Amino acid sequence: MNFTHPFLDGDGDDKLHEECGVFGIIGAPDAAAACALGLHALQHRGQEAVGITSFDGTEFFTRRGLGHVADNFSSAESIAELPGQMAGGHVRYSTTGGSGMRNVQPLYADLASGGFAVAHNGNISNAMQLKQELVSKGAIFQSTSDTEVIIHLVATSRYPTMLDKLTDALRLVEGAYALVVMTPRGMAACRDPMGIRPLVMGKLGDAVVFASETVALDVVGAEFTRQVEPGEFIEVDFDGTIRSHRPFGNTPARPCIFEHVYFSRPDSIFNKRSVYESRKNIGMELAREMPCDADLVVPVPDSGVPAAIGYAQESGIPFELGIIRSHYVGRTFIQPSDGARHAGVKRKHNANRKIVEGKRIVLIDDSIVRGTTSLKIVQMMRDAGAKEVHFRVASPPTGHGCYYGVDTPERSKLLAGRMDLEAMREFIQADSLAFVSIDGLYRAVGLEGRDKACPQYCDACFTGEYPTPLTDLAGRKDKDAQLSLPVNKVA
Amino acid sequence: MNFTHPFLDGDGDDKLHEECGVFGIIGAPDAAAACALGLHALQHRGQEAVGITSFDGTEFFTRRGLGHVADNFSSAESIAELPGQMAGGHVRYSTTGGSGMRNVQPLYADLASGGFAVAHNGNISNAMQLKQELVSKGAIFQSTSDTEVIIHLVATSRYPTMLDKLTDALRLVEGAYALVVMTPRGMAACRDPMGIRPLVMGKLGDAVVFASETVALDVVGAEFTRQVEPGEFIEVDFDGTIRSHRPFGNTPARPCIFEHVYFSRPDSIFNKRSVYESRKNIGMELAREMPCDADLVVPVPDSGVPAAIGYAQESGIPFELGIIRSHYVGRTFIQPSDGARHAGVKRKHNANRKIVEGKRIVLIDDSIVRGTTSLKIVQMMRDAGAKEVHFRVASPPTGHGCYYGVDTPERSKLLAGRMDLEAMREFIQADSLAFVSIDGLYRAVGLEGRDKACPQYCDACFTGEYPTPLTDLAGRKDKDAQLSLPVNKVA
Amino acid sequence: MNFTHPFLDGDGDDKLHEECGVFGIIGAPDAAAACALGLHALQHRGQEAVGITSFDGTEFFTRRGLGHVADNFSSAESIAELPGQMAGGHVRYSTTGGSGMRNVQPLYADLASGGFAVAHNGNISNAMQLKQELVSKGAIFQSTSDTEVIIHLVATSRYPTMLDKLTDALRLVEGAYALVVMTPRGMAACRDPMGIRPLVMGKLGDAVVFASETVALDVVGAEFTRQVEPGEFIEVDFDGTIRSHRPFGNTPARPCIFEHVYFSRPDSIFNKRSVYESRKNIGMELAREMPCDADLVVPVPDSGVPAAIGYAQESGIPFELGIIRSHYVGRTFIQPSDGARHAGVKRKHNANRKIVEGKRIVLIDDSIVRGTTSLKIVQMMRDAGAKEVHFRVASPPTGHGCYYGVDTPERSKLLAGRMDLEAMREFIQADSLAFVSIDGLYRAVGLEGRDKACPQYCDACFTGEYPTPLTDLAGRKDKDAQLSLPVNKVA
Amino acid sequence: MNFTHPFLDGDGDDKLHEECGVFGIIGAPDAAAACALGLHALQHRGQEAVGITSFDGTEFFTRRGLGHVADNFSSAESIAELPGQMAGGHVRYSTTGGSGMRNVQPLYADLASGGFAVAHNGNISNAMQLKQELVSKGAIFQSTSDTEVIIHLVATSRYPTMLDKLTDALRLVEGAYALVVMTPRGMAACRDPMGIRPLVMGKLGDAVVFASETVALDVVGAEFTRQVEPGEFIEVDFDGTIRSHRPFGNTPARPCIFEHVYFSRPDSIFNKRSVYESRKNIGMELAREMPCDADLVVPVPDSGVPAAIGYAQESGIPFELGIIRSHYVGRTFIQPSDGARHAGVKRKHNANRKIVEGKRIVLIDDSIVRGTTSLKIVQMMRDAGAKEVHFRVASPPTGHGCYYGVDTPERSKLLAGRMDLEAMREFIQADSLAFVSIDGLYRAVGLEGRDKACPQYCDACFTGEYPTPLTDLAGRKDKDAQLSLPVNKVA
């Protein structure tokens, strides 16, 4: 199994991780097969577990597994277990091993109104509080997932229709969510009022498709229709009827700007913009803001490549693959005691010695989280004979944790959370270090700059300005413990 | 994996199957290890799945698996996952593959009052009705097991103490149950008012033990204290305090007489009597009621052995192993097309040709369910050269299904449900066929005979007289379908 | 997986173990399916590995696996991999884990004369010497099995026909062998000149079958023709032609008498006698030679049952199941520290307390090897309240190792190798201990007694009189080390 | 499992595949750990099986597995099975499933002179002939691998020393080989007289290392010493003594030029040149020879990237990632019937639509084998809105099979084997198609051009000029069938 981020990953241990991807399709004769393919295209959003639920007009069917989509859903047998014209699925970047399969989504429940399945990307920041209230009324939770709170709120809602029940439930919920919901009546997709997490809509013949990113539409052969708007609630019936609702009225959108920086695949369209172009633009901004006298622009592969192309084009310095990335990474190996300095990082990245020897190089990476990999990469360049190593980062310093469905280290482990620029430079031992400015980042995504009064994106990881209250925050880091009363550990 | 009944099995496909065994221990330093060993001794009561839940004073831990106890709980690692001085477990004869691990007990829930785990042997005959009511109030079921109904009734009970909540819940429940319950306060064991399913109590040093059969006490080295009485509810605290309650008052007991006939191990004590002696006595009654002029008494191994010894001793006809049973059974093999007539039955039972050749034999089996195996055994004896084959059965004709936690074929598939004695004899092609009488059976277990007004045992499978109402009966055969609203099939 | 001896085992660790079983069939449309079924019936002769080789007229196909036949050959896919009308197979009681799959038989080689496959039951006692000579000439061994020596001797023989090559090879070989050989011309079966290991022949329609025991013929539906005679070499062609050869002339036969005592299934015919009757006869001899004043005859199940029936019939003391054997044994469990005295033995055997309490009992077992299990069984009887425990053994004291394909402990670990009768009695703590005499054993198998000048059976394990030279003896216990030059350990 | 070529792969089904990588180390305290890491760095040379053999001064130890190095050798347990200061290993691109583990190298044999292990990259083109001779003298082959021929030649050589035996053996052998050999005396590495397959030497502290590519030296932390010269035979003793021999005298070298084009990692040094620079140079040559009026240079990732960078730098046309490659490929998915046109290729490569829309693009790929993937890529570009699609190939047309250890389709399936340039262009539906010239290729690797009289590289796949006789050629495609007499298929 390969746990690396597919497209843009520098080092598995030193990146923020998007926690989930969702996909749904209704009206297709082989919905589960399309769903598996779509989730495969979203694999970079969650590589540790995957599940698909389908509905055949009468019954719901669910199949879950640990590992990649291809490990669990590439056989004809696995797809045959999921009959029907509606299917929804989920890939997950699992934070803990202990909680096991119970937390693998879609979650499902038999409600009095019939079956109810949900796949959720995001994080509910008052889940613990809501769970305690529900349990005190006799609700029995089967997972430690915040998503299950939504199901119980729907189950106990007194509103008559599913739309009303779900609206009723989501009104109590605080945080970020992009949901794909299935009931015997059809599929629903909704996005939190600020649209923090992405969700798009497409068309595949007569079928309607929802996905976290447009790349999943491409891969199944669907046409991109539009994004699900922040606060929008879309219902699709089996006869193809589509209804859009705005139960929360209009609030200013705050989509996650880090989707442009790193999370989304470069061939996706996010918030109406090409992610690849955004990244190239960031590289160009960076070249303008933080120029550098050097012989080569070298990307930290693969996540630094688009920004490096931008930097090279803008600066006129040649773009070269001074670091080669192995595709075979996976597990840790037993280290031989002799000589294998930095073998861990070399297993993944190896200096292209003949290229960098005797050269002044500008390294381009998308972001710095803990800084540990950046340090190793700089050293690797020096060991290979680079004369100077300048480090340029295609995002502002990441100094704050995310509570909206992204796995971030504690602030005390974020390099920018504990050091100033010069200290960071010393830590990674670069000759110079520079980040793109927050306004430069906003310019790169087509705006004039950041609107301080009302920022156009959620950029809390850079600015610490969280767009929602964070009720459960205290215990955030150990979410499982926080959300549960005495927990039953299931192997 | 070996799916045969361990002790008494003639043919896996042609026996009634006890559906579960339970075991609990509190106050032992290595409770889970003792629990694994105890469940291993109850393996014949359920061979398809096993689970253990332990409590370490703070948290509950659960581990479940498909297959035998030894496959899942013989490693030190598996036991180390289950710390604490209290542990309870369950072995299960699974009726369906589809429902998977979710139905493997103990079931567990985090209630507002704390963790609650339950292992159940029996069957709740109004579970579907109760489930529908609970779901209509917002309860979400995670399994298709009738046992989960008890948990939801406890979760929503308004009584203050756990004892009261459980009593409140069980008052609504109809059918058979022997329960081992764990909460942060300690362990509780209870048996339905008629005591249909067995449950005994023992002592292992300072620890208190509960088990479906005394053989589990023997194997863990515990001393047999007494049986849990019908309708009794026993609480054991961590300080060793034991409290007995009779929340339902006194009602006449009706324990399952088939435990004597086949379910329990012969070295167990059931309802204060040695099971082995009961079986020998049945064989003696049979010899008196249904004598036979023959050269040899041949048991259908292994379940017919004790009754055959009794028959031989009473009749003076020599006891011989005319049929040899293989211990290696398991799966079905691909049958070679030539010659292998009855290879299936021969894989399990083979004629001891030199012994039966030219002889008049009395075959002794514990019961006849569908009759298909009996037919093959009779033919095997004739093929091996037996001159006459007389069949004697150590129980009355089994003509009725059981709804108290025993897997029985539909009545239309029970040989005694569709034929009279002569037709049965013709079907199995024996020279003669006879069953012990119902009164003979009662005499064999130490009574003067069956009390028609108020039978001392549940003998519904022989008489059709069910001791409780059977509310959900209509859909009983497909229990999963019956108990659930549109069901989510999980692989 | 269940590693216990199927039929007759008392305790897996305290018995001699037959090391192999072989099966071959030629002329059947679905040879591999019959072979799998036949090997399944021989499972008690080797439970740790199994292999089948088939020939479809052009190519040979081999499939091997660790574990039971049912684990490896019950699927249609596994049988479909083995096409053709000829198939031969082997079950193996593996002595070491390290040597792995390479030693799983049938062994196969492409010789200049075509394919050559062999399955071997027995042990070549000069294999090391022969191997050294072959390697010095450039032979490359792929296994550490003594059987491979035969293949290399055939490969390098200068004789023209396969019959001559094989005869040439076997002339150099010393020890015990029962072989099933396959070549593109057909099947051959042969037995060493003294016929130490068993081999029988049968007919299934037009097909010819060979097997270690007649029970395998029964199970596949074949008719028993006759045994392969000691020193006989039988060729069967694809057109059904059968040719018998006696390349070594006539020498007195010395079949293994322990096949009657324990190795063969009771429903097999060995050396023209019913094994079950032999065992009953031994019990009767024992009752005459070593009578006992007691209330009950109790067999150590299952291996002591036939002798106990004989003892009871001869003595008139009632036969009772005073010990109940669990069918679920397998692995060792983690022992809870409290109370579980003898839990290991109880997992397998449990006292039927109500039966033995207050009684004087005669325990009957087939043999005593190390004595450790006998001690535990005696103690278990006393713990259950037996007043007196007398031990009677249905074979003479086992004081010598076997070098003919039977796994025996070193002499220093054999109870009878290091103690006299009274010391043995004290060791197992019985009130009395007695063995059948060597002449009594010969009488039980139909002879007048042991012919000292020329014993009719190999009884070396009782008498120390080995019928062949033991060239490699020095290193015998660690056979792998002994037979090999610097060995390549393959995982 | 990920079957894609790691670095440079366009499409697993449409590339030539190097069949093996070898690694050896002697004199290191944890040789096996270094070997695992080194093989991991060579994973792109063979992804279906891996083996390591070590020697601890007394015994050899071997562990083999199917799949990747990380799947088989990343645990401490796996390395602990391989003690000693010398270890050698092999990764393999397996051609057939049937032959299974027996063909996984290193191959090992106990010879009269002691243990002998060999790992081989290459192909012996007269193996069948040699095998037939050996078998006729009594040799028994255990694999269908051509490598085993070398072992049998060594085993039967009459020369006294291992060096002489091996030289004697290799004198009979024809074709390509790079060998790592282990005996109790030490390690030997040798390369065929023309040095067709690569092999380099390095130093890690006091240890000596051999590897197929320098990248494996980098990753274990070793220093590159020099390449093993064509026809050179290097012995390394345990005391560090290194002896070089030239048993075959000097012949002109002909290393495989395709290592520069595709096989080697770009960060390796092959034949004294940076592979990355060679590829960039090819791109530059291509830009000069085959210019193109276009808006963007788009590499087919990842194998086309270095040449595309060269093409872009030389032509001045911007380099852009117009195709995004997924890292999650693996298996084939069940295709939904609707819409998913080219879903297979899209799972791996997806158009970066916003970049290519409306643009004239030059696609750069390293080579065209069957052409099927090229066709799909061109269509994908057009579907994404590209106005013109020009295809430039960084190698000459591949019109001939390779018989030196490279997996090539039959000539009739090679696009250049059955079509001229215009037909090829039509087949892949590009607006234009051009290949670098053979002289351009030679210039790119630093020569003045191809020396027709005596080519400096083996370029048979482009020119059809094979540098050795091809004795077994007739049956080459089905090597297993060809090399064997009636074969025993082992599952």
Q: Is the pLDDT of residue C368 over 60?
A: yes
Among residues A463, A460, A397, A459, which one has the least CA distance to residue A425? A397
pLDDT given for residue D327 in this prediction: 79
From the CA of A135, how many Å to the nearest CA of chain D?
Answer: 41
Tokens of A469: 């209250």
Which residues from B are below 8 Å from C356, CB to CB?
A: none
The whole-number average pLDDT for the span D216-243 is 96
Task: Classify each residue of B389-424 as buried b or exposed e, where b means 16 or more C-beta atoms within 10 Å of its C-beta.
Answer: bbbbbbbbbbbbbbbbbbbbbeeeebbbbebeeeeb
Compute the average pLDDT of residues D238-253: 92
Length of chain C: 491
pLDDT of D145 reads 86
> Could you tell me the pLDDT band of residue A10, with boundaries at 50, 70 and 90?
very low
Q: What is the predicted pLDDT for the residue at A13?
A: 55
Place of tokens 């005390």: A412
Nearest residue on chain A to D344, alpha-carbon basis = A219
Specify the pLDDT at position B332.
Answer: 63
Q: Strand, coil or helix: what is B257? A: coil
A274 is in an annotated binding site: no
What is residue A229's three-state secondary structure? coil
Instruction: Compute the average pLDDT of residues D78-100.
Output: 81
For chain A, count helices (H), then strands (E): 18, 24
Interface test with B, best of C333, C346, C379, C445 (most B CBs within 10 A): C333
Please state, in angstroms and rounded to a whole number, the distance separating the CA atoms of residues B353 and C304.
20
CA distances to B255, B273, B395, B406 from B258, rounded to whole Å, are: 9, 13, 9, 10
Tell me whether C135 touches chain D (CB under 8 Å).
Answer: yes
> Is residue B256 part of an annotated ligand binding site?
yes
pLDDT of residue C193: 96
> pLDDT higher for C163 or A234?
A234
Q: Searching chain C, which residue's CA lies closest to the CA of residue B318?
A: C313
Residue D126 has pLDDT above 60, yes or no: yes
Q: What is the CA radius of gyration of chain C?
A: 23
C-beta atoms of A81 and B489 within 8 A: yes
* A480 has a chain B CB within 8 A of its CB: no
Neighbours of D18 (CB within 10 A): 28
On whether the CB atoms of residues C143 and C103 are closer than 8 A, the answer is: yes
Q: Where are the domains of chain D?
A: 6-255, 279-445
Q: Which residues of chain D neighbour A270 with C-beta distances below 8 Å?
A: none
Q: What's the pLDDT at B328? A: 81
Fold classified for C279-445: Rossmann fold (3.40.50)
| DSSP per-residue string spanning A356-424 | HTT-EEEEEES--SSSHHHHHHHHHHHHTT-SEEEEEESS----S---SSEE---GGGSHHHH--HHHH
CB pair distance less than 8 Å for C114 and D485: yes
Distance between CA atoms of A428 and D170, rounded to whole angstroms? 52
Find the closest chain A residue to D80 by CA distance. A334
Q: Is C140 within 8 Å of D139 when comparing Cβ atoms?
A: yes
Partner-chain residue, chosen from B110, B490, B491, that has the shortest CB–CB distance to A135: B110
Write the CB contacts of D457 (distance below 8 Å, at least 6 apart in sequence).
D254, D255, D256, D257, D271, D442, D445
Find the CB nearest C215 among B69, B332, B350. B350
Task: Give CA–CA dist A70/D144, Å, rounded.
Answer: 32
Average pLDDT estimate for D437-443: 98
C-alpha D425, offset from chain centre: 28
Please, which residues 343-402 of chain C have a Cβ atom closer than 8 Å to chain B? 343, 346-347, 350-355
Beta strands in C133-199 (DSSP E): 175-183, 186-191
- Residues C431 and C389: beta-carbon distance below 8 Å: yes
pLDDT band at D289 (very low <50, low <70, confident <90, very high): very high
Question: Residues 6 or more apart from D278 whose CB is under 8 A from it?
Answer: D260, D270, D444, D445
Selection from C70-79, D182-191, D331-340 with the highest mean pLDDT: D182-191
How do residues B358-397 score in pLDDT, each as one tens digit?
A: 999 999 999 999 999 999 999 999 999 999 999 999 999 9
Structure tokens at D174: 């024809």
Q: Under an 8 A CB cutoff, do A155 and B142 touch?
A: no
Which residue is associated with the tokens 């689970």? Answer: B51
Chains touching chain A through at least 3 C-beta pairs below 8 angstroms are: B, D
Catalytic member of C20, C35, C190, C292 = C20
Give the whole-angstrom CA distance, residue D163 versus residue A91. Answer: 57
* pLDDT one-digit tens code per residue, C201-252: 999 999 999 999 999 999 999 999 999 999 999 999 999 999 999 998 888 9
The residues, ordered by sequence, that sit 6+ positions from D192 with a Cβ below 8 Å of its Cβ are D122, D170, D175, D176, D177, D178, D230, D231
Using alpha carbons, list the distances in angstroms from residue B323 to B298, B365, B394, C348.
7, 12, 18, 22
Give per-residue pLDDT as tens, C307-344.
999 999 999 999 999 999 987 865 567 766 654 445 55
D140 contacts in C (CB within 8 Å)?
109-111, 139-140, 142, 151-152, 155
pLDDT tops 50 at residue B331: yes
Distance of alpha carbon C8 from alpha carbon B234, whole angstroms: 43
Rounded to an integer, what distance in angstroms lies between the CA atom of residue C148 and that of residue B38? 46
Chain B residues 211-240 with a CB less than 8 Å from chain C: 215, 218-222
CA C327, C328, C329: angle at the middle one, nearest 5? 105
Residue contact A486–B110, C-beta within 8 A: yes
Is the separation of the CB atoms in D364 and D392 below 8 Å?
A: yes
pLDDT tens figures, B305-317? 999 999 999 999 9
Q: What is the mean pLDDT of residues D204-216?
A: 97
pLDDT single digits (tens) A199-219: 999 999 999 999 999 999 999
Question: Which residues 6+ apart lie within 8 Å of C431 measured at CB?
Answer: C388, C389, C390
Chains A and C touch, contact meaning at least 3 pairs of CB atoms under 8 angstroms apart: no
Residue B161, Cβ neighbours under 10 Å: how many?
11
Contacts of C44 in chain B (CB under 8 A): 327-328
CA distance C369 to B416: 49
3-state secondary structure (DSSP) of residue B353: helix
Catalytic residue (choose from B20, B35, B190, B292): B20
**Measuring CA to CA, which residue among A41, A38, A33, A90 is closest to residue A66?**
A90
Please tell me whether residue A59 adopts helix, strand or coil conformation: coil
The phi-psi region of residue C173 (left if phi > 0; otherwise alpha if psi is between -120 and 50; otherwise beta) is: beta
Give me the pLDDT at residue C143, please. 84
DSSP line for D174-206: -EEEEEEEEETTEEEEEE-TT--S--EEEEETT
Check if the beta carbon of residue A192 is closer than 8 Å to that of residue A230.
yes
Share of chain D above pLDDT 70, in %: 89
CB burial of A90-122 (b: ≥16 within 10 Å; e: otherwise) equals bbbbbbeeebbebbbbbbbbbbebebbbbbbbb
pLDDT of residue A477: 47
Question: What secondary structure does DSSP assign to D111-178, as a single string?
Answer: ETTEEEEEEEEEEETTHHHHHHHHHHTT---S-S-THHHHHHHHHH---SSHHHHHHHHHHT--EEEE
Judge contact between B26 and B86, C-beta under 8 A.
yes
Residue B35 annotated as catalytic: no
Residue D350 binned pLDDT confidence (cut-offs 50, 70, 90)? very high
What is the reported pLDDT for B94? 63
What pLDDT does B477 receive? 47
**For A123-153, what is each residue's pLDDT tens digit?**
999 999 999 999 999 999 988 888 999 999 9
The pLDDT tens digits of the residues spanning B428-459 come to 999 999 999 999 999 999 999 999 999 999 99
Asked whether the predicted pLDDT for residue A9 surpasses 50, the reply is: no
Contact between chains at B74 and C334 (C-beta distance less than 8 A): yes
pLDDT in tens, C278-309: 999 999 999 999 999 999 999 999 999 999 99
Q: Residue C341 has what pLDDT?
A: 47
**Residue C328 half-sphere exposure, CB side, CA atoms within 13 Å?**
31
Q: Which region among A249-253, A422-426, B388-392, D359-363 has the lowest average model confidence (pLDDT)?
A: A249-253
Decide if B489 touches A, using CB distance below 8 A: yes
Amino acid at A215: V
pLDDT value for A329: 67
Q: Is D463 helix (H, G, I), strand (E, B) or coil?
A: helix
* Tokens at A204, concatenated: 């595949």
Q: What are phi and psi of B325, to 5 degrees?
A: -100, 130
Q: B17-47, pLDDT tens digit by residue?
A: 778 999 999 999 999 999 999 999 999 999 8
Tens of pLDDT, residue by residue over A173-190, are 999 999 999 999 999 999
Local structure of A287: helix, strand or coil: helix
Rg of the Cα atoms in chain D = 23
Asked if residue D488 has pLDDT above 50, the reply is: no
List CB contacts (< 8 A) between C110 and chain D: 135, 140-141, 484-488
Residue A96's pLDDT is 41
Share of residues in chain A with pLDDT > 70 (%):
89
Q: What is the pLDDT of residue D109?
A: 93
Q: How far apart are CA B87 and CA B85, in angstroms?
A: 7
**Which one of C156, C184, C488 has the shortest CB-CB distance to D115?**
C488
Query: What's CA B38's distance to the chain center, in Å?
Result: 15
Distance from CA of A105 to the nearest CA of D (A): 20
* Pairwise CB contact (< 8 Å): C63 & D487: no
**Domain C6-255: which topology?**
Glutamine Phosphoribosylpyrophosphate, subunit 1, domain 1 (3.60.20)
pLDDT tens-digit readout, A75-85: 899 999 999 99
Dump pLDDT digits (tens) for A278-314.
999 999 999 999 999 999 999 999 999 999 999 999 9
B403 touches chain C (CB under 8 A): no
pLDDT at C8 over 50: no
Question: By the 8 A CB rule, do B487 and A60 touch?
Answer: yes
Token duo for residue A384: 């290979």
- Residue count of chain B, please give it: 491
Per-residue pLDDT at C1 exceeds 60: no
Tell whether the torsion through CA atoms of C243, C247, C249 and C252 is positive or negative: negative
Size of interface C-D (CB pairs under 8 A): 124
Given pLDDT bands bounded at 50, 70 and 90, which one contains residue B100? low
Interface contact flag, A68 D341, Cβ < 8 Å: no
- Residues C396 and C436: beta-carbon distance below 8 Å: yes
Catalytic residue among A20, A35, A190, A292: A20
β-strand A20-26 against A207-211: which pairing, if any? antiparallel
Residue D308, pLDDT > 60, answer yes
What letter represents residue A394's amino acid? A
pLDDT at residue number C344: 58
> Tokens 């199944």 belong to which residue?
A220
- Contact in structure between B306 and B365 (CB atoms under 8 Å): no
C-alpha C321/C-alpha C301 separation (Å) is 8
The band of A259, judged by pLDDT with boundaries at 50, 70 and 90, is: very high
What's the pLDDT score for residue D2? 27
Nearest to C259 by CA among C21, C11, C47: C21
A76 touching chain B per CB within 8 A: no
Of A45-59, B468-482, C364-378, where does mean pLDDT reach its minimum? B468-482
**Encoding tokens for residue D383?**
């579907």
Q: Is C22 buried (19+), middle (13-18) or exposed (0-12) by CB count in 10 A?
A: buried
- Residue type present at position C335: Q
